[in-house]
Structure 1
Amino acid sequence: MEFRTMRAFVEVVRQGGFSPAAKAINSTQSTVSKAVRQLEDELGVPLLDRIGHRSELTAAGEIMFRRAQSMLTEREDLLLELDELRGLRRGVLRLGLPPIGSSILLAPLFVAYRERYPGIDIRLVEHGSTRLEEILLAGEIDLAASLLPVADAFEVQSVRNEPLVVLFPSRDPLAGRERVDLAMLEDRPFLLFETGFALNRIILDACQRRGFQPSVAVRSAHADFIVELVAAGLGIAFLPRMTAEQRPHPDVCTVRLDEPGTDWHLAMVWRRGGYLSHAARAWLALAKGETLTQADAQSPAEAAPSGA
C-alpha cells in the first residue's frame, strides 16, 4: 500500500470529488482516479460508491479514510522529526492564521521570527478558526491561531484576550450607550462572518443562551466590508475591540458588548500528543516572549515553552 494512493483517496473525500482532489495535489484527474482504483484493487473492496458525478464513501471507505488520515499524519510527523536533525538552519513552519486580529497581533512576530531564523520557510494558510482546527487535526499545518475554547484534542498557548464591541450605524438609538447586552439586540439584523469563523460561534452560542436565534442579513469574510455595511444601515456587527479600533468610520459607533462568555480570546494551538517541530517550538517561544514584552518583560524568551 503506497502513501501516494492513500493521499489521492483522502483528498477525493476531503475535497468532495476527483477534479478538486487532483488540483489540491497538483495532479490530473485521471491519475487520481487510477490511484483510487489501485487502492481498491489492492484492498479487494470498493471504497467509493460512484453515483453520477458524485462519490460517497462505502462502509469500507469510511474505515479506510479514518485510517489513511492517521497514517498520513504519522508519516508527516516522521519526516518532520528526521528533518530536525538539521536544526533550525533549515526547516518549514506551517502556520494557520485567521483573518481577524492576525495582522495587528502577529505581523511584528513574523518580522522577529524571520530575523532570528532566516533559513526557516514559513508556509502560511489563512482560514477561519474552525477550518484551521480541522486542517490542524489532519496534520496539514503545525500551529494555528484559534479562539478559545477549543477541543481537548489541542494544546494551547494564550496570545490575547479582548472584549467584543458591537458596531452600530451612528443613527441607531443604542449607539450612544457605553454597554449593551444581546437581549437588547434581538430585533436587529446581524452581519456575521462566513461559516468557519469561530467568532460566529461565540455570538450564536450567546444568543442561544439568551433564548433567540438572530436574523442574519449578510455573511462576509472581510471585516472592512462588514464595517461599510454597518455604516450603510444594513445591520449590526461584532468585532474584537482592537480590530474595531483599527477600522474607524464616521458613520459607525462601537459599544462594548456586556455579555458573559463572549470575550475574543486568541491562542496558538497544536495537536495534543503530536510531534511539534523545532521551528514550531521556536515560534511559540517567540510568541510567548512577545506577550511578556507587552506585559513589561524586557526581551523575548529564547527557550521553547514548557509542555510544547
Structure 2
Amino acid sequence: MEFRTLRAFVEVVRQGGFSPAAKVVFATQSTVSKAVRQLEQEIGLPLLDRLGHRVAPTAAGEIVYRRAVRLLAERDDLGAELAELRGLRRGTLRLGLPPIGSSVLFAPLVAAYRQRHPEIEIRLVEHGSERLEELLEAGEIDFAGLLTPIAPAFAQQPVRSEPVMALLAPDHPLAGRPAVRLGDLRDTPFILFESGFALNRIILDACRRDGFEPTVVARSSQIDFIAGLAGAGLGVAFLPRMIAMQRTEVPIGLVLLDAPGTDWTMAMAWRRDAWLPPAGAAWLALLRETWKDDAA
C-alpha cells in the first residue's frame, strides 16, 4: 500500500469523482482509476459505489478514507520534522482563512508576521469552515480560522466573538427594531452563504430550536452581494456585527439578532497531535501575543 495510492483514493472521495481528483493530484483520470482499483485489490473489498458520474465511499471505503487521511498527515509531519532537523529553516506557513472576517481579523496579523519573518513563505487558502476543517485534519494546512464549537481533535486560540445582526431592507417592518428574534423572521425568506459556511449551521440550528425551517431564497459566497440582496428586499441575511457595520454601499437595515447560541465566535485551530514547524510556532506566538488568551 503506497502513499501515492492512498492520496489518489482520498481525493476521489473528497472531490466526489475521478476526473476532479485527477486534477488535484496532477495525474490522468485513468491513473487515478488504476490506483483505486489497486487499493481495492490489496484490501479485498470494494471501496467506492459508482453513482453515475459521482462516487461515494462504501462502508469499507469510509474506514480506509479516515485512516488514509491520518496516514497522509503523519507523512507530511514526518517530512517537516526531518527537514527541520536537517536545518531547512526557511519554512512555509500554510494558513486556511474563512471569507467572513479575515480582512478585519487576520490581514493585519499576516502583514505583521511577514514583517517579522520575511524569509517564511505564507501560503493562504480561503474556504468555509467545513472545508477548512477537512484540510486541517488532512494536514494540508497548519492552521485554520474556524467558528466554534471546534472538534476535540484540534487545539484552538480564541480570536473574537461577535453577536450576529440581521440585514433587512430599510422599509422592512422589522428594520426599525433594536433587536429581532428568529421567530419574528419565519415568514421572511433567508439569504444564506454557500454550503460549507459554519454561519449557515449556526443560523439554521437556531431556527430548528425555534421550531421552524426557513425558506432559503438565495445563496452566495460573496458578502457584498448577500448584503445587496438583503438591502434590495429579497429577504434577510445574517452577518457578524463587525462585518455588518461595514456594509455602507447600499441602504440597509441592521438589527441585532436576539437568539441564544448564535454568537459568531472565531478561533484559530491546529491539530493537537501535529508537530508545529518553526514557521507555525512563530505564528502561534504572534496569535497569543495579539489576543493574550492561552490556547485551549
TM over 0.5: yes
Gaps of 5+ in 2: none
TM-score normalised to the size of structure 1? 0.88
Counterpart residue number, 1:219: 219
Counterpart residue number, 1:240: 240
TM-score normalised to the size of structure 2? 0.92
**1:160 to 1:87, Cα distance in 2 relative to 1, 3 A:** farther
Quick one: which amino acid aligns to residue 259 of structure 2? Answer: E
Quick one: which amino acid aligns to residue 161 of structure 2? Answer: N
Q: Distance in 1 between matches of 2:135 and 2:219?
A: 22
Q: Distance in 1 between matches of 2:125 and 2:98?
A: 8
Quick one: which amino acid aligns to residue 9 of structure 1? Answer: F
Identity %: 65
2:264 is aligned with 1:264: yes
Counterpart residue number, 2:6: 6
CA RMSD of aligned residues (A): 2.2
**1:185 to 1:50, Cα distance in 2 relative to 1, 3 A:** closer
Q: Distance in 2 between matches of 1:171 and 1:165?
A: 17
CA-CA distance at 1:290 after TM superposition: 2.3
**1:19 to 1:245, Cα distance in 2 relative to 1, 3 A:** same
Q: Distance in 2 between matches of 1:175 and 1:52?
A: 47
**1:68 to 1:250, Cα distance in 2 relative to 1, 3 A:** closer
**1:95 to 1:87, Cα distance in 2 relative to 1, 3 A:** farther
Matches for 1:12-91 after TM superposition, within 5 Å: 12-50=12-50, 53-85=53-85, 89-91=89-91
User: Would the aligned equivalents of 2:89 and 2:278 in 1 still touch at CA under 8 Å?
Assistant: no
Counterpart residue number, 1:112: 112
CA-CA distance at 1:44 after TM superposition: 4.8
Match of 2:173, SS? coil
CA-CA distance at 1:40 after TM superposition: 3.6
User: Would the aligned equivalents of 1:88 and 1:279 in 2 still touch at CA under 8 Å?
Assistant: no
Q: Distance in 2 between matches of 1:195 and 1:96?
A: 17
Q: Distance in 2 between matches of 1:53 and 1:182?
A: 39
2:165 is aligned with 1:162: no
Quick one: which amino acid aligns to residue 152 of structure 2? Answer: D
**1:181 to 1:2, Cα distance in 2 relative to 1, 3 A:** same
User: Would the aligned equivalents of 1:83 and 1:91 in 2 still touch at CA under 8 Å?
Assistant: no
**1:291 to 1:49, Cα distance in 2 relative to 1, 3 A:** closer
**1:3 to 1:218, Cα distance in 2 relative to 1, 3 A:** same
Q: Distance in 2 between matches of 1:56 and 1:263?
A: 34
Q: Distance in 2 between matches of 1:220 and 1:54?
A: 24
